[in-house]
Every structure is written in structure tokens, then in C-alpha cells.
Amino acid sequence: MDDHTCARETKNRLANRKWLACKLVKKLRKYPNLRHSDAAQYFKTKCDLELNKSSLTRALGDARYVVYGDAAAQYGMVRDYGLTLLKSNPGSTVTVGVIPQPNPDDDPIFEKMYVCLEGCKKRFLAGCRAFIGLDGAFLKTRHGGQILSVIGQDANNHIYVIAYVIVPVKNTENWRWFLELLHQDLGDYKKNKLCLISYMQKVCNIYRLSLKMMFIHWAADYIC
């Protein structure tokens, strides 16, 4: 069989702006901080395409508008989402905090949101261990923010989500707001004999245990 001697073609007219943007939308949803060089490398590796900078820039701009535009528009539907939760889960608690604008005619800006579903609340009080863990994580999106969660532990030692909030930053004020609403939903933690532990306490306990084990081994070797 004769060896191919024709040059490899890395240009394709069918790879137009619309097609490129469609491909990049999927990548941006998975990698929100996708850079221009990353997109170029993706098409080079995946599709064997070498794209000029202007074409890729326009396509990446279109894809970002689709992804980030959709995300921004969804904040305008937060109240509808909350009402839907209350309608489908009677007895739940959904609280939305907003930042009012100087002009009364302007829509307020979303700030934070608290969600505690009735089913999760009742099942936790009825059948889970009297243990509550507090934790938080960053939301890796263009709009940022953090999600704070309160979790329990069921009889099978599985994680059980009780409530969660979306806040701009994890600080004392937002934790207080979160726990005050949780207190209203679950009742007095002393009366219900609930034990609360934060993610920082877990680290400290492990650190103290490590120090204790180090001292035991050191004492066994050097103390008569």
C-alpha cells in the first residue's frame, strides 16, 4: 500500500462561528474560567483545527454570552423558584435576601437565599442522629458566592442535608443569619439535645489527636 504524501489540512470552512460557539458552550458550563489558549488547544487536540485568533475570540464571546447570560437571567427567577418550592413542599422555609436599589423602579439585587424543606426537617427530627455539622464551599461560577450547609447523619451513617443557604461571603453575619433561621425551623437545640460541630472543630480535633499520638510515641522512647 502506498504511503500518503498529502499534507494534513487543519482548516475547515464548516467550522464557522456558530459551530465553534456551540462547542464552547459545553466547555464553559464545565470550566467557567476557560481561557482563549485553552479553547485553542481544545480544538487543536479534539478536532485537529487551527483557528485564527479573531474567529476564536468571537466564538468564545458568543459562548460566554449564552452561558453567563443564562446564569444572570436565572437570578431574576429566584422568587419564582422559592414559590415553587413552597408550593411543592408545604411547610418548608424559603427566605430570599435582596439589596434594594436607590431608584425604587429598579429591581433589587439578589444577595442570599435560605432553603429548608419540610420533608428534610421532619425526617431529621424523627429519625436521624442528634448531630448537626456545619460546612461551607465556594461556588465556582462567574458570579461567585458561597454555599453554607447544615447536614445530619442518618442511622446508616450517611450524610443527610437539612438546610442550605447561598451567600456572597462566609462570615459571622451570614452564619448568624443562617443559624437563626435554622433555630426557628428545628427548635431549641438544647431542648432537642442537638450537638453542633463545625468544619473547623473537626480539623482542630484531628490536630489535637495528632499531637497526643506524637507525645505518646515520644514519651515511650524517651521517658523512663
CA distance 121 to 163: 8
End-to-end CA distance of the chain: 83
| Model confidence pLDDT, tens digit, residues 65-124 | 888 776 677 777 888 889 999 999 999 999 999 888 888 888 888 899 999 999 999 999
Phi first, then psi: what are they for 34, rounded to 5°?
A: -60, 125
Residue 161 has pLDDT above 70, yes or no: yes
pLDDT digits (tens, 9 = 90+) for 18-63: 888 888 888 888 888 888 888 888 888 877 777 778 888 888 888 8
Q: Is 219 exposed, middle or buried (0-12, 13-18, 19+ CB in 10 A)?
A: exposed
- The predicted pLDDT at position 64 comes to 83
Q: Where are the beta strands (DSSP E) in the chain?
A: 93-99, 109-116, 131-138, 146-153, 159-167, 195-198
For the segment 191-218, the average pLDDT, to the nearest whole number, is 55
From the CB of residue 166, how many other CB atoms can be counted at a distance below 10 Å? 19
Strand order in the sheet with 195-198: 93-99, 109-116, 159-167, 146-153, 131-138, 195-198
* Torsion, Cα of 167, 172, 177, 182 (10° steps): 100
Residue 4 in this model has a pLDDT that exceeds 70: no
> CA-to-CA distance for 7 and 77, rounded, in angstroms?
53
Phi, psi of 76 (to 5 degrees): -75, -10
- Cell numbers linked to 65: 454570552
The predicted structure's pLDDT at residue 129 = 85
The reported pLDDT for the residue numbered 5 is 61
Residue 92 near residue 115, CB atoms below 8 Å: yes
- Measured from the Cβ of residue 62, the count of other Cβ atoms closer than 10 Å reads 17
